[in-house]
Amino acid sequence: MSLFGRLRTVVLLAAMMVVMVVKASQDYGDALTKSILFFEGQRSGKLPSRQRMTWRKDSALKDGFQIGVDLVGGYYDAGDNVKFNFPMAFSTTMLAWSVLEFGKDMGADLPRALDAIRWGTDYFLKATSIPGFVFAQVGEPYGDHNCWERPEDMDTPRNPYAVSKQFPGSEVSAEIAAALAASSMVFKHVDLEYSARLLKRARMVFEFAETYRGSYNDALGPWVCPFYCDFSGYEDELIWGATWLFKATTDPTYSNYVVENVHKLEKSVMRNVNGLAYSSVGGSFAEFGWDSKNAGINVLASKHATTLSFLLVVYSRYLKQANRVVHCNNVVASPARLVQVAKGQVDYILGSNPLNMSYMVGYGKKFPQRIHHRGSSLPSVGQHPKQIGCKDGSVYFNSSNPNPNMLTGAVVGGPDIKDSYEDSRVDFVQSEPTTYINAPFVGVLAYFKSHPWS
Ligand SMILES: *[C@@H]1O[C@H](CO)[C@@H](O)[C@H](O)[C@H]1NC(C)=O
Ligand SMILES: *[C@@H]1O[C@H](CO)[C@@H](O)[C@H](O)[C@H]1NC(C)=O
């Protein structure tokens, strides 16, 4: 090659690198690592020696013991200390889906992602260990919300709540079945015995959910509503559970179930969202979140480019979170456009926004300091071993100081529609992180980590 040729190559490469540097606006690998680390901060129960978020300690070591059942473990849902199994199961399903789609792109974070899933599934095996019952929650929510206490100090009632044949809860049961089935696929090549146990339990729990139909809103009333009231009906979770069971087993019983029931769901979806033109099948936008699985069913049950659809689904989740609605009636967006839109959203969350602020704790230069989270906002047990009682936490809750413990990787509710963010502990809508915001984000970050220039 001539010198001129070489020079031209170098210039070309340099130009490409500039373009790449400009386009890779965020460090998705760093964000991915942190998004998974967050789950360690939400752990309930006996913490393992490989716990990295060390300001957290063992907590709630007797959950379930009052009725002779071991319900130790699982995740605290958000900034409080209740274990709400319905959104917890959704988060576990999403973590599993993230690993199934993007696990190969996760690198050193993959074992940690598996840990995060297993922390959920170990608990769900306990929550479904008695045939005919599914535990839906641990922790009396009113007592819990009335206190600002560290999980390690909790002295509020840790009541367990279960659904049963007589008082069924198909949405919570079917979502747990989905989590177990999806996770069984994740562990198939990692721990075959564990994977088989998860799958066996998933079948059993799905059968229970389907045979004894009803909503946990009715069975458990004020213990679950208004916290995680299931507004969208339980049919979507039953189909979602069957879809995951079909993926995990290829047993036609489950695909037949999906086909037979999806039309009913479609009608009910149309009725429920009166005015918002979308259908539950066919690939258009639909609701997706802890309480509504329609869009997820679309993606799983269809032959889309799944990877891209995952992004779309998760993107719709964020739109819902931000109370923004996209009307894309009669608009056909290209897959590239969808990825671009998803990337814009991810970048916004990570700091490409008018405030130049990352909404992930510990990521970037500027991020939320006063998240609505009991453990993060109170001095750690290591710093302050003495118990901090129910109302003794108020002084920390009201303080304008930054939180003393960093809940690394927590993605908060985020700014209002005008892009303003108060960074106030009191404003939980903006400043509270949840497991079900972080879980789908894990997969999206893994995608952009491996496709930073897309
Ligand atoms: C955000 O960053 C941009 C580009 O660096 C800058 O022009 C703008 O003033 C910053 N905005 C704030 C609120 O700091
Ligand atoms: C402090 O927080 C508690 C809630 O924990 C609230 O009821 C009280 O009004 C607050 N006090 C002040 C002075 O803001």
pLDDT grade, residue 313 (50/70/90)?
low
Report residue 75 as tokens. 């995740």
Residue type, 22: V
Instruction: Give the span between the Cα atoms of 178 and 206, in whole angstroms.
Output: 8
- Contact in structure between 42 and 76 (CB atoms under 8 Å): yes
The DSSP code for 74 is -
What's the pLDDT score for residue 433? 96
| φ and ψ at residue 296, rounded to 5 degrees | -65, -40
337 neighbors 388 (Cβ within 8 angstroms): no
Atom of ligand 2 nearest to the CA of 148: 5
Q: Tens of pLDDT along 73-82?
A: 999 999 999 9
For the question of residue 384 being annotated catalytic, the response is no
> What is the pTM for the complete model shown?
0.89
- The answer, yes or no, to whether the previous bond of 151 is cis (omega within 30 of 0) is no
Tokens of 23: 């386009």
Q: H or E segment at 160?
A: strand 160-164
Task: List the residue whose alpha carbon is closest to atom 6 of ligand 2.
Answer: 394
Residue nearest to atom 4 of ligand 2 (CA): 394
Task: Reply yes or no on whether 115 is catalytic.
Answer: no
CA distance 165 to 227: 23
- The Cβ of residue 308 has, within 10 Å, a number of other Cβ atoms equal to 18
- In this prediction, residue 19 carries a pLDDT of 46
pLDDT digits (tens, 9 = 90+) for 6-54: 555 555 555 544 444 445 579 999 999 999 999 999 999 999 999 999 9
Ligand with an atom nearest the CA of residue 364:
1
Confidence at 284, pLDDT banded by 50, 70, 90: very low
Greatest distance between any 2 Cα atoms in the chain? 83
Which pair of structure tokens corresponds to residue 287?
Answer: 């609701």
Neighbours of 261 (CB within 10 A): 17
- Phi, psi dihedrals of residue 136, rounded to the nearest 5°: -105, -15
Q: How far apart are CA 158 and CA 115, in angstroms?
A: 25
Residues paired with residue 161 on neighbouring β-strands, in sequence order? 137
User: For residue 135, what are the β-bridge partners?
Assistant: 162
Arithmetic mean of pLDDT over the chain: 87
**Is residue 432 annotated as part of the catalytic site, yes or no?**
yes
* pLDDT confidence band for 292 (50 / 70 / 90): confident
Which is more confident, 416 or 67? 67
Low-confidence winner among 158-162, 210-214, 278-282 (lowest mean pLDDT): 278-282
356 Cα: distance to centroid of ligand 1 (angstroms): 6
- Identify the weakest region by mean pLDDT among 15-19, 58-62, 192-196: 15-19
Letter string b/e over residues 332-359, b meaning 16 or more CB atoms within 10 A of that residue's CB: eeeeeebbebbbebbbbbbbbbeeebbb
Torsion of CA 74, 77, 82, 85, to 10 degrees: -60
Judged by average pLDDT, the poorest of 164-168, 224-228, 293-297 is 293-297
In ligand 2, the atom with minimum distance to the C-alpha of 393 is 5
Assign 3-class secondary structure to 141-155. Answer: HHHHHCCCCCHHHCC
pLDDT of residue 24: 58
Closest-CA residue, ligand 2 atom 2, reads: 394
Whole-number pLDDT of residue 145:
96
For residue 376, what are its two tokens?
Answer: 């993060």
**DSSP string covering 370-390:** S-S-HHHHSPPTTT--S---T
Reported as a pLDDT band with limits 50, 70 and 90, residue 451 is confident
Per residue in 355-386, pLDDT tens?
Answer: 999 999 999 999 999 999 999 999 999 999 99
CB burial string 2-24: b at 16+ within 10 A, e below: eeeeeeeeeeeeeeeeeeeeeee
Say if residue 192 is exposed, middle or buried (CB neighbours under 10 Å; 0-12, 13-18, 19+). Answer: exposed
Token code pair at residue 293:
């699985």
Q: Which of 16-20, 152-156, 305-309, 434-438 has the lowest mean pLDDT?
A: 16-20
Collapse the DSSP code of 136 into the 3-class scheme (helix H, G, I; strand E, B; otherwise coil) and give the result. strand
What local confidence, expressed as pLDDT, does residue 343 receive? 86
Of 229-238, 278-287, 385-394, 398-407, the poorest mean pLDDT is in 278-287
Q: 14-28, 35-49, 152-166, 273-287: which range is least confident on average?
A: 273-287
Distance CA(360)–CA(442), nearest Å, equals: 12
Domains of the chain: 3-450 (1.50.10.10)
Residue for token pair 């009669």? 330
Top-ranked range on mean pLDDT: pick from 126-135, 411-420, 437-446: 126-135
Q: What is the pLDDT of residue 140?
A: 97
Which stretches within 335-415 are classed as H helix? Answer: 335-350, 374-377, 394-398
Ranking 25-29, 124-128, 260-264, 403-407 by mean pLDDT, the lowest is 260-264
Q: Is 398 in the pocket of ligand 2 (CB under 6 A)?
A: yes
Strand order in the sheet with 83-84: 83-84, 133-138, 160-164
For residue 331, count CB atoms less than 10 angstroms from its CB and return exposed for 0-12, middle for 13-18, buried for 19 or more: exposed
Reported confidence tier of residue 165, pLDDT bands at 50, 70, 90: very high
Q: What is the pLDDT of residue 303?
A: 58
Confidence at 300, pLDDT banded by 50, 70, 90: confident
Q: What is the mean pLDDT of residues 164-173?
A: 98
Minimal-distance CA residue to ligand 2 atom 5? 394
Per-residue pLDDT at 139? 98
Categorize the per-residue pLDDT at 322 as very low, low, confident or very high, splitting at 50, 70 and 90: low
In this structure, what token pair is assigned to residue 427? 């404003």
Q: What is the pLDDT of residue 10?
A: 52
Cα 138 from chain centroid (whole Å): 18
pLDDT > 90 in the chain, percent: 70
